[in-house]
Amino acid sequence: MRRMLMLVGLFAALTPACSVVAAVVFVHLSDPHVNVTAQGRFREEGVRDLRRVVDAIRVIQPAFVIVTGDVTELGDEASLARYRSEIDRAGVPVYTVQGNHDRPADPGAFNRLVGPTHPAFDVDGHRFVGLNFHRPDEALALLERQVASAAADKIKHFFTFAHEPLLAPDAVAFSLSPGFASVTGRTAVRYLALAQQQRIAGHFAGHLHGSYDTADAYTGTLSLAVPSVVDSGSLRLCCLSDGKLSWTVARAGDWPLALLESAPTHVPWGTARLEGVQRLTVRAVGPSRLREVTVQWGAGPPLPIERGEDPNACTLSFDCTSLTSAVYELRASLTDEAGNRSSSRWRLLVKGGK
C-alpha cells in the first residue's frame, strides 16, 4: 500500500490520547440559508442550525471545510456578514461558493464579505477548485488554468465543488445526460473534457437539501450532494488518502462520528474497487474516547478487529479474493466513554474471486 498522507488538521479538540490520522480529513457543508432580515424563510433556523454544525466542527478540527452555497436565504449583505461571523468560529480554513440564493450573478458583496466566488486551494497533492456555475465562463476558465498548472505544481488529484450537483434526480431535460444539473451545452462539454483530462475525482454540491451521491457515467467523477445544514444540521465528514475518498454523512452532535480510511466509498456508476488483501482503519471522532466498536459485513457476524495504542481506532484485514465480486456494506457500531452510541456504514465495491 502506498505511503499514507499525513493529516493536515489534527483532532486538537479531542482527548490527548487521540493520535494523528494518516489522511486528510475535511468537512463538507451546504445550504445553511442564514437569514437575519424580517422577510422570507429560516429567520431562526438558519443561524441556529449553522451554529450547531460549527460547534461540531470545533470538536472534529478538520484540515478545512468546504461549503457549497446557499449560505443565505436572500443574498443580502447583513446575512452574508452573519454567515461569515458564524463560520469563522470553526477555527479552520473555510472555502465557500455561492448558491442560487446568494445572488451569484453579482458576486461583489459575496467577494467582499465572504470570499472569492471561485476559491481554489491545494492540500497534500490534492487540488480543490470552487466553481460558481452561474458565471460559467469565469468558472471554467479558472478550472482550465488550474488543470494546466497541475503537473508543474505536482497535483495528483482534482476535486471541484459548486452549489448544484453534476447529477440530480428527476431532472431529465438537460442536453448531455439525464439529470446533468450543474452545466449544460457547451459549458458541460468543457467541464467533461477537463474531467477526462485531469480525471477529476469528485464534485461536491448541495442544492437538493438531501443526500444524493452518484458518479457521472461519462467520466466516473463522483457527484456528492450533502443534506442541508438548515432544518437538519447535517455534515459530510470526509477522509481522503492519495485520491481515495470515503465519507460519513451525519447530524451535528451525533457522537461518535466514524471515519473509514483507505477505502473509496462506492456510489451508483462508480468503478473504484478493492482488490487483494486490504487493511482498513475505522476511527472514532468526538469529544469522548471510543470504548467499544463492532465491525461487520452487512448483517453478518462481527469481523475480527485489532485495537492498538490509539484508543479511538480499530483495524481489520480481509482478503478480497475470498469474497464474491459485488458491492458490500461495511457497518460499524460505536460506543464512547460518555455512553453515546452511533452507527455508520460504507458501501464498498470489491473485486473478489481467485
Burial of 311 (0-12, 13-18, 19+ CB in 10 A): middle
In this prediction, residues 329-339 reach a mean pLDDT of 97
Q: How far apart are CA 341 and CA 335, in angstroms?
A: 4
Q: Quote the mean pLDDT of the chain.
A: 88
Cα dihedral sign, 257-285-263-181: positive
In this prediction, residues 208-214 reach a mean pLDDT of 89
Dump the DSSP string for 13-73.
TS-TTPPPPSSEEEEEE----B--SSSSS-TTHHHHHHHHHHHHHHHH--SEEEEES--BS
pLDDT band at 179; cut points 50, 70, 90: very low
| Phi, psi (rounded to 5 degrees) for 239 | -125, 120
Half-sphere exposure of 111 (CA within 13 A, CB side): 9
pLDDT at residue 184 in the model: 65
The answer for residues whose C-beta is within 8 angstroms of residue 48's C-beta and 6 or more apart is none
Cell of 67: 461549503
SS3 (DSSP) at 326:
strand
Condensed to tens digits (0 to 9), the pLDDT of residues 101-118 reads: 999 999 999 999 999 999
Amino acid at 248: T
pLDDT band at 6; cut points 50, 70, 90: very low
pLDDT at residue 42 in the model: 97
DSSP lists the bridge partners of residue 249 as 236
Return the ∠ at Cα 267 (arms to 265 and 270), rounded to 5°.
95
Cell of 189: 462539454
Q: How far apart are CA 260 and CA 123, in angstroms?
A: 19
pLDDT at residue 16 in the model: 34
Prediction pTM value: 0.90
pLDDT at residue 243 in the model: 85
Condensed to tens digits (0 to 9), the pLDDT of residues 267-290 reads: 998 999 999 999 999 999 999 999
Sheet strand arrangement including 257-261: 257-261, 277-285, 313-319
Cβ–Cβ under 8 Å, residues 38 and 24 = no
Cβ–Cβ under 8 Å, residues 197 and 179 = no
Q: How far apart are CA 347 and CA 245, in angstroms?
A: 12
User: What is the percentage of the chain residues whose pLDDT exceeds 70?
Assistant: 88
pLDDT at residue 246 in the model: 96
Condensed to tens digits (0 to 9), the pLDDT of residues 220-232 reads: 899 999 999 999 9
Burial of 105 (0-12, 13-18, 19+ CB in 10 A): exposed
Q: Is the pLDDT of residue 12 over 70?
A: no
| Phi, psi (rounded to 5 degrees) for 243 | 85, -10
Highest mean pLDDT among 18-27, 210-219, 293-302: 293-302
Cα dihedral sign, 79-84-89-92: positive
DSSP lists the bridge partners of residue 293 as 334
pLDDT at residue 205 in the model: 94
In this prediction, residues 327-345 reach a mean pLDDT of 97
User: What is the percentage of the chain residues whose pLDDT exceeds 90?
Assistant: 74
Q: How far apart are CA 349 and CA 354, in angstroms?
A: 16
SS3 (DSSP) at 336:
strand
